[in-house]
Structure 1
Amino acid sequence: MHILVAEDDFSARLILQRMLKEYGTVDVTVDGREAVEAFRAALNAGTPYSVVCLDIMMPEMDGMEALRQMRAIEAQHGIRSTQGAKIIMTTALDDPKNVVEAFKGLCDTYLVKPIDKEALHLALVRVGVI
């Protein structure tokens, strides 16, 4: 499995990377713009991401905008969101407004930090990648 983690906090990024490495290859980015560039590059190279863990509060471009752009890139390639990458919002924001906005942006599930290994595993099961 090819996994992308987009997280600006070093500790959170490292924890997610360690938890996810047992499931496949993990690439990391530090902001939304880098995440979108990596997402586009992987799709163009024929090695698309299976899973994207996307923080909301990041510099350069927030996770909500990155989510919209990733789904737009998939659409340009003729990939419907249900057939594309499984995007998991991984964020400290658990208010209803952000949750609803994320699902409107076509995320697959939403995890509130701090994220533990069991919650992450259950999310990967829920989205159907394991």
Structure 2
Amino acid sequence: MLKILVVDDDAANCLLLRAHLENYGKSEIADNGEEALEAVKHSLDIGEPYDLICLDIMMPMMDGNETLRNIRDMEEDAKNSGISQSPSKIIMTTALGDIKTVFESYDNLCDAYLQKPIKKAALLKALVELKLIHNANKPQTK
């Protein structure tokens, strides 16, 4: 089963993503970028990084792209400290579809980009492409 972090300041979006992902792993929720960074730091500290992070871009306090940059920096620091862990797969989930925002997200090393409202089929397709699941029609067992 996947270890998942859903980061979004909108509770309805969190619940929707959690419902879409419930057959593939346990989802934790962070309401903003700062909470996400705390959760990621803790997961790295205990040696159990998230397999998947679904990250909204438009959030208060710290936007998704800043959060993404910080997560990638934390993963790099952990790697440089001798903690050998694969980086989390990060899917940006946002209402923004302009090319500038999409490129900024990929420049910050996101793995996929989905525009809201998130459709389950598109999310599962992304999980297959990221090799997090093998078959979008069959729940993952591990």
Q: Shorter-chain TM-score: what band? A: over 0.9
User: Which residue number in structure 2 is paired with residue 49 of structure 1?
Assistant: 50
What is the rounded CA distance, in whole Å, between the counterparts of 1:10 and 1:84 in structure 2?
A: 26
What pairs up with 1:31-70 in 2 under 5 angstroms?
Answer: 31-70=32-71
Alignment of 1:3-82 (within 5 A): 3-78=4-79
When Rg is computed on C-alpha atoms for both structures, the one with the higher figure is 2
Deviation at 1:46, TM superposition (A): 1.3
- Deviation digits for residues 73-98 of structure 1, max 9, x if unmatched? 0000117xxx3100000000000000
CA deviations on 1:41-61 (whole Å, 9 max, x unpaired) are 111111110000000001111
How far off is 1:64 after superposition? 0.3
Question: Which secondary structure state, in structure 2, belongs to the residue aligned with residue 75 of structure 1?
Answer: helix
Q: Secondary structure at the match of 1:77?
A: helix
For residues 9-52 of structure 1, the C-alpha deviation after alignment (integer angstroms, 9 at most, x for no partner) is 11111100111111111000100110111011111111110000
Tell me how many residue pairs correspond in the alignment: 127
- So what's the TM-score if we normalise by structure 1? 0.95
Instruction: Specify every segment of 5 or more residues in structure 1 that has no aligned partner in the other structure, as ranges.
Output: none
Runs of 4+ residues deviating >6 angstroms: none
- The whole-number CA distance in structure 2 between the counterparts of 1:67 and 1:121 is 21
Tell me the residue number matched to 1:99: 102
Normalising to structure 2: TM-score of the pair? 0.87
Gaps of 5+ in 2: 81-85, 134-142
Identical residues among aligned pairs (%) = 48
